[in-house]
C-alpha cells in the first residue's frame, strides 16, 4: 500500500496547500465501461438545453448484497465528474453553515435568494457541461419530465445554461445512484424528487410496514454506520430523531441525504457524498463522536446547523470502512498520477489532487494494470454538455 500523496507530497503540497482551502479541479471524464460499467446519466435525456427531453430507461436490478459496494463506486465517480469538490462543516470559511440543499423540489434552496436572477454556482461553462447529467438524475424520478421541461424554459432566458436549476436536485442525485447501483424496484428504494419520500419508506421498514425496502431507518448513533448507508438532515421541520418524523409521515419536509463513502475512525469523521451541495456533487467531511459503547455517529455542530436525524441503513453486508479509497475512480486517479508526465500532471491540476489526498488520508493499492491505465485524468477539453 502506498499513500496517494507520497510521490509528490514535498513538491506539491508546499506549492498548493499554503492554506487548507480547497479549490475545485476541472471535472473529470467518467471511466470507460470496460473499467467501470456505468450508464452515464446524460444517456437518459436527449436534445440541447432549452429543448431537452427525458428518455425513460429501466434501472439496474441486482441482489441487494451486491449493491453496497456499487453505490459507493457510482457516487464517487460522479464526484470526480464534478471535479472532486470538498466541503468541510468544521471550517467556517469553507462551509459557512449553509452548504447543502435542504429544500423540496420547487422551493428555493437555503443558499439562494428568492426572486431575482439566480445563476449557477458553477459558472457558465461548467453549468453547461453538467446540464445533461443533472437532467439525467431527474430522469429516474416519477416527476423528472416536468422538472426538465420547466428547466428548458429557464434555459431559454437571458442567462442560458448559466441559470440555476429551478428545483434542488439532491434527492434526484441519490435516486439516480440507487437506480444505477442496482436498486431498480421502487419497493426497494422509492426514487423521488424529495428526500422525505424514501426516508419515510425506511421508517416504514423499521416499523415492519414494508418488507422489501433496501433501507431501514435508525437514529444517528443507534446502529453502526457503514459506506453505502445514507445520513439525512432536515431544516424545516428540524427533526432530531426518526420518532419526530414518524409523527409527520407523508408531510413534506425540507431535508437532505448523503451517501456514506468512508468512516474514518482514526480522525473521528464520516465522509459523505451528496448532490447539489454548492451546486455540485460534493464530498462533506462530517465530524463524528463516539459515546461509550455506541457506534461512531455524526457530531451535532450547534444550533445553526442541521443535525443528522436519520441513518438509513442498507440491508446488506458491510464493506471496508475506507471504501472511498478503493473505488475505481480513486484507483485510476492514483495510477494516472503515478504514470503521467510532468506536463500531464500540470494539465491535470495534480497539485490540487495532492491536497485532496492529504485532506482525506487516501491510501490506495499501487497496482496499475492495463484496465486502470486506460482511465485518463488529463485536463478535460472545453467539451459539450454531458
Residue labelled with grid coordinates 426572486 = 115
User: Is 386 inside any structural domain?
Assistant: no
* Cβ count within 10 A of residue 124: 14
User: Is 49 inside any structural domain?
Assistant: yes
Which CA distances in Å does 318 have to 179, 225, 229, 269, 355? 20, 9, 10, 18, 29
Indicate the Cα dihedral angle 69, 71, 72, 78, nearest 10°.
Answer: 140
User: Is 224 inside any structural domain?
Assistant: yes
pTM above 0.95, yes or no: no
Q: What is the pLDDT along the chain (386 residues), one digit of tens a residue?
A: 334 333 322 222 222 332 333 344 556 789 999 999 999 999 999 999 999 999 989 999 999 888 999 999 999 999 999 988 888 877 655 554 445 565 444 333 333 334 456 888 888 899 999 999 999 999 999 999 999 999 999 999 999 999 999 999 999 999 999 999 999 999 999 999 999 999 999 999 999 998 899 999 999 989 999 999 999 998 888 899 999 999 999 898 999 999 999 999 888 899 999 999 989 999 999 999 888 788 888 887 655 567 899 999 999 999 999 899 889 988 887 665 554 444 443 444 444 555 566 666 665 544 555 444 333 433 333 344 45
User: Is 381 inside any structural domain?
Assistant: no
Give one word for 357, left, alpha or beta, with left for phi > 0 and alpha for psi -120 to 50.
alpha
Say how far apart CA 16 and CA 88 lie, in whole Å: 18
pLDDT on residue 200: 97
- Structural domain including 57 reads 2-373
User: Is 315 inside any structural domain?
Assistant: yes
pLDDT on residue 383: 41
DSSP 66: G
Say how far apart CA 345 and CA 15 lie, in whole Å: 14
User: Is 379 inside any structural domain?
Assistant: no
User: Is 356 inside any structural domain?
Assistant: yes
**Burial code of 30-58, b = ≥16 C-beta within 10 A, e = fewer?**
bbeeebbebebbbebbeeebeebebeeee
Number of domains in the chain: 1
pLDDT on residue 65: 87
pLDDT on residue 371: 44
User: Is 251 inside any structural domain?
Assistant: yes
Phi (first) and psi of residue 354, to 5 degrees: -65, -35
**Contact at 8 Å (CB) between 379 and 25?**
no
Say how far apart CA 384 and CA 382 lie, in whole Å: 7
Amino acid at each position: 500500500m502506498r499513500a496517494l500523496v507520497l510521490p509528490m507530497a514535498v513538491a506539491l503540497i508546499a506549492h498548493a496547500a499554503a492554506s487548507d482551502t480547497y479549490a475545485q479541479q476541472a471535472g473529470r471524464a467518467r471511466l470507460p465501461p470496460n473499467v467501470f460499467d456505468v450508464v452515464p446519466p446524460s444517456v437518459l435525456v436527449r436534445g440541447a438545453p432549452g429543448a431537452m427531453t427525458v428518455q425513460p430507461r429501466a434501472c439496474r436490478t441486482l441482489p441487494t448484497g451486491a449493491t453496497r459496494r456499487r453505490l459507493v463506486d457510482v457516487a464517487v465517480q460522479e464526484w470526480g465528474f464534478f471535479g472532486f469538490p470538498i466541503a468541510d462543516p468544521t471550517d467556517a470559511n469553507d462551509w459557512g453553515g449553509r452548504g447543502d440543499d435542504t429544500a423540496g423540489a420547487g422551493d428555493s434552496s437555503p443558499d439562494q435568494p428568492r426572486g431575482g436572477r439566480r445563476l449557477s454556482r458553477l459558472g457558465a461553462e461548467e453549468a453547461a457541461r453538467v446540464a445533461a447529467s443533472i437532467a439525467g438524475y431527474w430522469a429516474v424520478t416519477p416527476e423528472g419530465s416536468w422538472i426538465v421541461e420547466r428547466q428548458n424554459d429557464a434555459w431559454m432566458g437571458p442567462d442560458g445554461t448559466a441559470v440555476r436549476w429551478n428545483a434542488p436536485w439532491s434527492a434526484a442525485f441519490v435516486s439516480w445512484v440507487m437506480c444505477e447501483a442496482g436498486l431498480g424496484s421502487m419497493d426497494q428504494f422509492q426514487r423521488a424528487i424529495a428526500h422525505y419520500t424514501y426516508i419515510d419508506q425506511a421508517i416504514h421498514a423499521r416499523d415492519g410496514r414494508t418488507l422489501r425496502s433496501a433501507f431501514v431507518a435508525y437514529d444517528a448513533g443507534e446502529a453502526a454506520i457503514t459506506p453505502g448507508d445514507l445520513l439525512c438532515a432536515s431544516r424545516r421541520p428540524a427533526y432530531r430523531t426518526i420518532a419526530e418524523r414518524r409523527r409527520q409521515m407523508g408531510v413534506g419536509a425540507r431535508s437532505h441525504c448523503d451517501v456514506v463513502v468512508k468512516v474514518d475512525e482514526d480522525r473521528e469523521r464520516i465522509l459523505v457524498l451528496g448532490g447539489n451541495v454548492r451546486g455540485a456533487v460534493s464530498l462533506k467531511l462530517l465530524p463524528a463522536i463516539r459515546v461509550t459503547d455506541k457506534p461512531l455517529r455524526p457530531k451535532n455542530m450547534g444550533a445553526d446547523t442541521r443535525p443528522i436525524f436519520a441513518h438509513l441503513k442498507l440491508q446488506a453486508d458491510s464493506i471496508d470502512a475506507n471504501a472511498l479509497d478503493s473505488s475505481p475512480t480513486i484507483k485510476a486517479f492514483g495510477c494516472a498520477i503515478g504514470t503521467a508526465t510532468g506536463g500531464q500532471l500540470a494539465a491535470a491540476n495534480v497539485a490540487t489532487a495532492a491536497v485532496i489526498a492529504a485532506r482525506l488520508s487516501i491510501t490506495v493499492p499501487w497496482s496499475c494494470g492495463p484496465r486502470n491505465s486506460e482511465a485518463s485524468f488529463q485536463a478535460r477539453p472545453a467539451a459539450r454538455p454531458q
